Amino acid sequence: MTSDSLLWLAELLEMESGFIEECLRCGALSPDDLPQQRAAVPAATAARLRRLRRLCLSLDVDVYAGAIIVDLLERLDELQREMEQGR
């Protein structure tokens, strides 16, 4: 992803480009999840980034720790959906 792509993505999601770079660097976000051109960012990707950013800021944790928390929360959400479908 080019620096121009990071800048427009950061602007679109109203986030700092440094945060998105850190997410990419630590593996919290895959480059495959991001559009290569100015296009709509997948809703799941945008939601994940926003949740991760909110957690990092609220809990004062780094992106690595935040990514672990987000992964666990997503898994819990998935399990809850499965339980509700099984009722």
The pLDDT of residue 83: 93
- Residue 70: count of CB within 10 angstroms of its CB: 21
- Could you read off the pLDDT of 27-50 as tens digits, one per residue? 888 887 777 666 778 888 889 999
pLDDT at 71: 94
CATH of the domain at 73: 1.10.1660
Q: Note the pLDDT of residue 2.
A: 66
When divided into structural domains, the chain yields a total of 1
What angle in degrees, to the nearest 10, is found between the helix axes of 3-13 and 17-26? 110
- The structure's pTM equals 0.83
Instruction: Express each pLDDT in 48-86 by its tens digit.
Output: 999 999 999 999 999 999 999 999 999 999 999 999 998
Domain range for 55 is 3-86
- Largest pairwise CA distance in the chain: 48
